[in-house]
Every structure is written in structure tokens, then in C-alpha cells.
Amino acid sequence: MSSGGVIDYVWNSLADSGMTLLEVGEQRLARDDTDLSYRNSVVVDVDGEVAGVLISFTEVNARTDYTLPPAAAKNHATVLAPYLDMEVTGSYHICEIALLPQYQNQGLGNRFFEIAKVFARERGCAELSLQVFEQNVGAVRFYERLGCREIDRRAVVPHELIRYTGDVLLMTAPVAVGALAR
């Protein structure tokens, strides 16, 4: 939901014939051998309905989590370069905070961010990192309100599956020592 089509692009590259993107995503997130996994996901349920998800992990090397098979990687390195080139080694990376529209502006995104801070502290990380499209003005403002600042940016490589143009921003926020904000 929040990838602006980047995940659609990756999953489309990985899809076997007949697989839907959702099936590819389910298969990818079901793995235990990578950080981009159900193990690092938090789902919020509101009255029995999934409202959103947080996927986050310690940033050791983003390339290990977004690796494509060799043939696909060779063909798609240019499109994915902006996302793969920006990482903050040793940070706690927010891969995704996504909420369905009807659950936005209810404090759930703030709660996900605070949960990510707790996970970061538990893993000894001093800062959070994330990537966001500059054209996603609402998300940029949301992260700025939570203390994130831009530290790098790269031009989005145009592709029909990627819904944004302009730049993708790398943002970080310090992880304060102390109790979880309530």
C-alpha cells in the first residue's frame, strides 16, 4: 500500500506464471530466512478488520531483503537503484507503515511509529530510518511531525508500475531512551 508501486514492481518480477501479486507477497512474507518477513510485521485489527501494518527490522544491508533472482536483478537494477542505494547501516528501518484510508488520522500511524521505536531500543539501534516519496506530501509531513529529517534523496526511475516521480527521500529520527510514549 505505501510503496508507491515499488513492491508491485519487485513482486511482479518474482511472479511465476499464474501467480497474483498478493500470492507472491504472501510467499515472500512467509519466509523465515529474511528480515522482510511476517516475523517483523505488526498488524492492527480494529473491530475484527485488518486496518494496517508495520513492517520494520534492523538495517544491516537492505540489498539482502530486496534481492531479486540474478536474471531479474540484472534487468531491473536501474529501477530499484534509488531504493537500494539509500540505507543507514545499524538503524532500525521502517519498511512500511500502511493504514487503510478509513483508519488514517486516528493515531494508529503514531502508535506504529512508537512501536518501531521500542523495537529499535530493544535491538540497540540509536535511530529509525525510512524512505518516502517526496510527492507523498501527507506522509512526509507525518514523519516530520514525528521528528524525522531528510538526510538523502534519489531520483525515482520512471516505470509504469511506480506511481510517483520526483525523488524518494531517506529520513531518520533519533530513538530516545525511555519508556514507550502512551
Question: What pLDDT is recorded for position 167?
Answer: 95
Report the pLDDT value the prediction gives residue 79, as an integer from 0 to 100: 81
Diameter of the chain measured on Cα atoms: 49
Decide if 1 is inside a domain: no
- For residue 54, the model assigns a pLDDT of 92
| Residue 181 placed within a domain | no
Q: Which long-range contacts (CB under 8 A, 24 or more apart) does 80-85 make?
A: 80/6, 80/9, 80/10, 80/157, 81/154, 81/157, 82/154, 82/155, 82/156, 82/157, 82/168, 83/6, 83/131, 83/154, 83/168, 85/154
Count up the domains in the chain and report the number.
Answer: 1
pLDDT digits (tens, 9 = 90+) for 67-114: 555 555 555 668 877 888 888 888 999 988 999 999 999 999 999 999
Q: Which domain holds residue 64?
A: 6-174
Instruction: Tell me the three cell numbers of residue 39.
Output: 516475523
One digit per residue, pLDDT tens: the chain, 182 residues?
567 777 777 777 777 778 887 787 787 778 887 777 788 889 999 999 999 999 898 876 544 455 555 555 555 668 877 888 888 888 999 988 999 999 999 999 999 999 999 999 999 999 999 999 999 999 999 999 999 999 999 999 988 888 899 999 999 999 975 544 43
Domain contains 111: yes
For the domain that residue 113 is a member of, what is the CATH number? 3.40.630.30
Closest C-alpha to 125, from 77, 92, 96:
92
pTM of the complete model: 0.83
